Amino acid sequence: SAFALAQGLPKLAQKKTYKVGFAQTESNNPWRLAQTKSMQDEAKKLGWQLVYTDAAGSAAKQVSDVDSMIAQRVDAIFLAPREEKPLAAAVKKARAAGIPVILLDRTVDPKLAKPGVDYVTFIGSDFVQEGQRAADWLAKKTNGKATIIELEGTTGSSPANDRKTGFDTYIKKFPGMKIVASQSGDFARDKGRQVMETLLQAHPDVTAVYAHNDEMALGAIAALEAAGKQPGKDVTVVSIDGEKDALQAIIDGKLGATVECNPRFGPKAYETLIRYARGDKIPAKIINPDRFFDANNAKASLSTSY
């Protein structure tokens, strides 16, 4: 019925080239730049037109970026939603306008928008598992004894929520591991440094730092050094992403380990859209496999990093 059709995902015609939108969150770190480059390079390779927007760290701007893509009648929208709640409405608006949406790397609140209904699918890492892997490495490294400061990602974002859940739940198995402070550094290096400086004053006895991304870990390392501590010796630091600067910090003995979060979405993103247009059944989630870097492989992996 017309009603059922109106409820379903918008169809996408099979065409030689598409005009697609990529609504990026921000461009203030190497991970975001690598993701954008991958989306641009692959569009070029396919000969597709890419409408690119950068929300510059504002969920409100990202909502209006999606609006402008709808107004430009792009064939499909790839969205990296900065925060889980505010972007759910943008997803529904695109669907109502007949434009299929694929979520990249971050997701929206599952209570507000659903895969296979409001958007085609989510492509990205398993953030809960990333947090668990960081916790597992830290538990082994410290023999289950650590006084931990946690630097959280952007408040209200799926990676911050899930990386916290994964890590915090995992370390509950170890009575000797305890998080004494947990605060957002907004996934940014300088914010991570500032927050760490403040938290260090209240918790000078810290022995470990878990940062939700490498940029904040590198900021924390700078703060530790400024406070006269030796990261890698007095304080064990673990994080997530696997960017080049982080691998270098592992080689330098300052960062303990980083769980990879793969930013190279281009090929998988467009291939999924082509399959969708063909009428293939697309799963609700497409999970990227992630590597793991520590002192054993950081040097050998440096050239594969960004």
CA-based nearest residue to 149, from 237, 205, 209: 209
Tokens of 2: 């017309």
CB of 259 to ligand AHR, least distance (A): 10
CB of 132 to ligand AHR, least distance (A): 15
From candidates 106, 191, 193, 268, binder to ligand AHR by CB under 6 A: 106
Lay out the sheet containing 49-54: strands in order across. 49-54, 19-24, 76-79, 101-104, 121-124, 285-287
The answer for residues whose C-beta is within 8 angstroms of residue 168's C-beta and 6 or more apart is 131, 150, 179, 182
From candidates 105, 118, 136, 152, binder to ligand AHR by CB under 6 A: 105
84 binds ligand AHR (CB under 6 A): no
Give the phi and the psi of residue 118 in degrees, each rounded to 5.
-95, -35
**Partners of residue 53 on adjacent β-strands:** 23
Asked whether 182 and 163 are in contact (CB, 8 A), the reply is no
Q: Which is nearer to ligand AHR, 171 or 240 (CB)?
A: 240
241 binds ligand AHR (CB under 6 A): yes
28-36, 44-52, 175-183, 270-278 -> range binding ligand AHR (CB under 6 A): 28-36
187 binds ligand AHR (CB under 6 A): yes
Q: Which is nearer to ligand AHR, 80 or 99 (CB)?
A: 80
Q: Which is nearer to ligand AHR, 18 or 22 (CB)?
A: 22
31 binds ligand AHR (CB under 6 A): yes
C-alpha 190, offset from chain centre:
18
170 binds ligand AHR (CB under 6 A): no
Q: Which is nearer to ligand AHR, 9 or 222 (CB)?
A: 222
25-33, 57-65, 275-283, 292-300 -> range binding ligand AHR (CB under 6 A): 25-33
159 binds ligand AHR (CB under 6 A): yes
HSE-up of residue 234 (Cα within 13 Å, Cβ side): 12
26-34, 174-182, 278-286, 289-297 -> range binding ligand AHR (CB under 6 A): 26-34
261 binds ligand AHR (CB under 6 A): yes
Question: Strand 257-260 relative to strand 292-294: parallel, antiparallel, unpaired?
Answer: antiparallel
Burial class (CB in 10 A: 0-12, 13-18, 19+), 302: middle
For 152, 194, 237, 256, 263, the CA distances from 221, given in Å and listed in that order, are: 15, 11, 8, 11, 23
CB of 2 to ligand AHR, least distance (A): 38
Dist CA 193 CA 78 (whole Å): 32
Q: Which amino acid is at 34?
A: A
54 binds ligand AHR (CB under 6 A): no
Looking only at Cα atoms, what is the longest distance across the chain?
69
24-32, 108-116, 267-275, 288-296 -> range binding ligand AHR (CB under 6 A): 24-32
Task: Lay out the site mask for ligand AHR across 32-51 (x = CB under 6 A, - = otherwise).
Answer: x-------------------
CB of 240 to ligand AHR, least distance (A): 6
- Site residues (CB under 6 A) for ligand AHR? 29, 31-32, 105-106, 159, 187, 213, 240-241, 261
